[in-house]
Structure 1
Amino acid sequence: MTGKKTQPLKSTDCLIIGAGPAGLTAAIYLARFRRSIAIVDSGFSRASLIPASHNCPGFPEGVSGEELLRLLRVQGTHFGVEVKTGEVTELKKIEQRFEATLDRRPGNGDGSPATLRATTILLATGTVDSIRNIPDWTMGVKRGLIRLCPICDAYEAKDQDMAVLSSSARRGVNHALFLRIYTRTLTLILSETTLAAVDQRRLRRAKIDVVEDTPREISITGRARPTIVLSNGRELQFDVIYPMLGESPRSGLATQLGARCNRDGKLIVDRYQRTTVPGLYAAGDVVDQLNQISVAMGHSAIAATDIHNRLDRLPKR
């Protein structure tokens, strides 16, 4: 039995993995530096879920995640940026270059695996939200009923009845206290954990209701308000639910090469966005910094400039 034949491709200066705000920004910078690049995306960006961002600079009326991504892609085409659809399944470092195995989607070439070679790599792979027990949660996000980022959108939910879901006391308490400035009616629902006495006092002083229970069901169907059904059958209704249940950074490709992560799996980088593997950079939500579009774009500007300068210092081949 034989598998599909891997097709080698020529080497580029930089392979960018991920075409969200971070990856597309880096592609624009590097293309304008007249560097050869390849940018690969698996077809889903977390940013695409955003119904409207009102803290992204330059958009006074707000901008949806899908529209922002579209505009970045259009901007990239002015400099020859073309996004390949597929998933990088493996990274290797051979001497001073990287080799990536790309599993291409049907309709993109002949669908056979390809080998991409690059002098540098920028990981802009983002993170995956840990959402449990919420059917159709992505639709809830697009409708503004489920919200994932208090910094991004709590202002738009101000004065509404809010619930924070968490299975971590530390994370749940911190998010609840942050959100308290936006609303008078806030409930923290904690599952699989208990509160320390000091946290109970902090929440009591902030007048935040606490429910220690594992919800049986969370419903966001129809026009009704989101409903949380507790284990005893009691129903609680809210205007907005923040499921702060953690996230899973897409850092596996970097850790294959020995890159260091923090305890949450986020990549550790220096001030130039360099990981602990020479030539491997990371930007955006996959790194151990603030998850914001503006931050991701800043990361990529720094990383792309350092990649450009690094390439100048390398011996010519």
Structure 2
Amino acid sequence: MEKKHFEVIIVGGSYSGLSAAMSLGRSLRQVLVIDSGLPCNRQTPHSHNFITQDGEKPAVISAKAKLQVDIYKTVQFYKGIAIKAVKTENGFEIITRSGEIFSAKKVLFATGVKDLLPEIKGFADCWGISVLHCPYCHGYEVKNEKTAIIANGEMGFEFAKLISNWTKDLRLCTNGKSELTSEQTQKLEKHGVVILEEEIDSLEHTEGYVSNIVFKNGEKVDVKAIYARVPFEQHCKLPQDLGCEINEQGYLKVDFMQKTTIPGIFGSGDATTQMRSVALAVSSGSFAGAVINKELIDEDFI
């Protein structure tokens, strides 16, 4: 790649990054998209709750999006990993693992988050397939099935309430001693939720589709789906290296204009919100692209 300077660099070329790239490409902006080609939902077989693309494979959506963005010749793609970012007099420099240096006036981080999966045998194999994070994305496909939730305390209570909308055949696995209050326990039991406190040993599955939860005492519970909220970390640390703040939940802090706490740096997609869905990632990326373009216009129109 010969060109080294751009108006905007987008780090992360999944749904949010591609959406921002389209918005900026249609605004005639010189854009570079840096992406490793490894989206967080690459193991998920189908994407849902995104109008016009409901039930489509995530990779198909991404490939189609990239083809459409590629029509805008001011947008270029670089396959690689950004490992360093520095503030300069005129903007920012992004250094890749291969040593290339790119510069831009503005940077958008659409880098997502990295899920920190528990050390339960089989969990990682099932993550995104039959171990799910979001009922709005996947709940309809497992409606009325035997379902478990792996959670405890307040999160477990609220998650069980939520999932009970999709199935009444529900058990809450606290994976150890319950931290529910007596009132929460009574409410869940009143609504038919079975609470299991045994520690989990493993998940039995076939190619990611769970069949049984195996507890450390040897007992098994057959299920067709499991919901779990797992801890996470920012997939990319470069915004923090540049001084961008992270909020109390661990997300990149942005305002209603997708601006981070550092001027010239923007964030969009899963890195910025707990509402993880393709539709919302696309929305925030498109809006971020428009805001960045307007900011460039305002800076030039003096």
- After TM superposition, the score normalised by the length of structure 2 is 0.91
Q: Find the residue that maps to 1:187 and give its secondary structure.
A: strand
More off after superposition, 87-96 vs 149-158:
87-96
Alignment of 1:2-81 (within 5 A): 10-59=4-53, 62-80=55-73, 81=75
| Unmatched segments (≥5 aa) in structure 2 | none
Find out whether 1:183 has 2:176 as its counterpart. no
In 2, Cα distance between equivalents of 1:172 and 1:91: 39
Among 275, 284, 290, the alignment partner of 1:305 is 290
Instruction: Measure how far apart 1:139 and its partner are.
Output: 4.8
Instruction: Measure how far apart 1:16 and its partner are.
Output: 0.5
Contact 1:145 1:220 (C-alpha < 8 Å) held by counterparts: no
Contact 2:121 2:201 (C-alpha < 8 Å) held by counterparts: no
Instruction: Measure how far apart 1:187 and its partner are.
Output: 1.0
Q: Find the residue that maps to 1:314 and give its secondary structure.
A: helix
In 2, Cα distance between equivalents of 1:262 and 1:211: 33
Structure 2 equivalent of residue 196 of structure 1: 181
Q: Find the residue that maps to 2:246 and give its secondary structure.
A: coil
Contact 1:122 1:280 (C-alpha < 8 Å) held by counterparts: yes
Which amino acid is the alignment partner of residue 69 of structure 1?
Answer: S
Q: Find the residue that maps to 2:81 and give its secondary structure.
A: strand
In 1, Cα distance between equivalents of 2:28 and 2:89: 25
Q: Paired residues, what number?
A: 299
In 2, Cα distance between equivalents of 1:152 and 1:33: 31
Q: Find the residue that maps to 2:273 and give its secondary structure.
A: coil
- Which structure exhibits the higher relative contact order, with contacts defined as CA atoms closer than 8 Å and separated by 6 or more residues? 2
What value does the CA root-mean-square deviation take over the aligned residues?
2.3
- After TM superposition, the score normalised by the length of structure 1 is 0.87
Deviation sequence 1:10-46 (CA, Å, 0-9, x none): 2211110111110011111111111011101122112
Among 164, 169, 180, the alignment partner of 2:153 is 169
Which amino acid is the alignment partner of residue 119 of structure 1?
Answer: K
Structure 1 equivalent of residue 202 of structure 2: 217
Structure 2 equivalent of residue 108 of structure 1: none
Structure 2 equivalent of residue 229 of structure 1: 214
Instruction: Measure how far apart 1:198 and its partner are.
Output: 2.9
Instruction: Measure how far apart 1:135 and its partner are.
Output: 4.6
Deviation sequence 1:83-132 (CA, Å, 0-9, x none): 311111121112341111111xxxxxxxx311111111111111122222
| Unmatched segments (≥5 aa) in structure 1 | 1-6, 104-111
In 1, Cα distance between equivalents of 2:273 and 2:133: 18
Instruction: Measure how far apart 1:289 and its partner are.
Output: 4.7
